[in-house]
Copies of this chain bind each other. A is one copy, B any other.
Amino acid sequence: MNTLVIAEHYHIQIEALVAGNNIDLLNEQIRIHQPKFVAIANEKDRDRVNHSHVFCGTEGILEIIEMSQSRTVVNALVGYVGLAPTIKATSLGKKVALANKESLVVAGEFIDTSLITPIDSEHFGLWYLLNERPVSKLYITASGGAFREWEISKMASATFADALKHPNWSMGNKITIDSATMMNKLFELLEAKWLFDTPQIDALIEKKSIVHALIEFKDGSTTAHFAGVDMKLPIAFALQGKVEEPILPAVDLLGMGSIEFLPICEKHYPIWQIKNHLLAHPHLGVTVNAANEEAIKAFEKGRCSFFGMSDIVLDAYQKFETITPNNLKEIIMIDKEVRAYVHQR
């Protein structure tokens, strides 16, 4: 949606559209943007789509990336399923405006990051603040998720529905759960590691989600990026390179009240205990992601508790700690093995 708003703003032609299950919305978008190709998640919806070139499933997405002439692909898929399109697009030399953080988490080592522009607020904020001056540390912020004010004992019995109540905004289920466990921020640190090529990166809680990123420069200065939480801003930069007109209203500095930065504690967010090790061994991202996706499904089905998800991830992390993928094929294999391991457990 945000991408289409920005595309309209800049009169950018949309060559292909990818949708999940919301076919009504897709038909409306087809009517307005007249794309050449369309892909949907499920074959069964094909007849409902008002278009003559409809492709289906992941294979369908890869096909339309292959056929398209566009130099830029916006990838806002959620989860592991977003990896293949990122690989396909970058291997064709296309630029990718990337909201799918799992692409870099799982396979950052094998993706040409020079073709990647991040379109989430945190990495955009870092990119916006970086300049020629030498940096000592990068920071991204976290909202703290649904349970940031909860007692740990209460979190232990939290339900899937509880975890979906994000304090600051409404997002898809997976990212909202990842926000409650802090997995989302762990992924973003890994993403930043690949994008900005530094392990000197950490996260802080900023509950109002007004400050998205900070940079500590070697000289002793720290700079911060404040903006409304709205992906239109990073998308505009990703599509245009340069933005010289208002995309969002300015932050209301007098109206926002006080802001503070708080530490992310391991008791509240158990997966935080692997942060330093994971940043030092980023190839373990594939394991963490696979275990996490399976853990979320288990939590949704009531097969594990909220903290049970962290247990699953930490257990798989230990189990697969010594395995290093040498190429994309091995990553796909490890992903499968980790999922199988989690299931049998």
Contact = CB atoms under 8 A, between A and B. Distances in A.
A221 B214 contact: no
Interface of A, secondary structure class, is loop
A1 B248 CA distance: 44
B216 A221 contact: no
A220 B204 contact: no
A97 to B, nearest CB: 16
18 contacts: A129-B223, A136-B246, A216-B251, A219-B243, A219-B247, A219-B248, A220-B228, A220-B250, A221-B226, A221-B227, A221-B233, A222-B226, A223-B223, A224-B224, A253-B261, A254-B262, A258-B258, A258-B260
A244 B134 contact: yes
Given A258-B259, A259-B260, A260-B257, A222 B250 contact: yes
Interface string A208-224: 00000010101111111
The oligomer's copy count stands at 2
Interface of A: 128-129, 131, 133-134, 136-137, 139, 204, 214, 216, 218-228, 233, 236-237, 243-251, 253-254, 256-263
Contact of A222 (B221, B227, B254): B227
A128 B260 contact: no
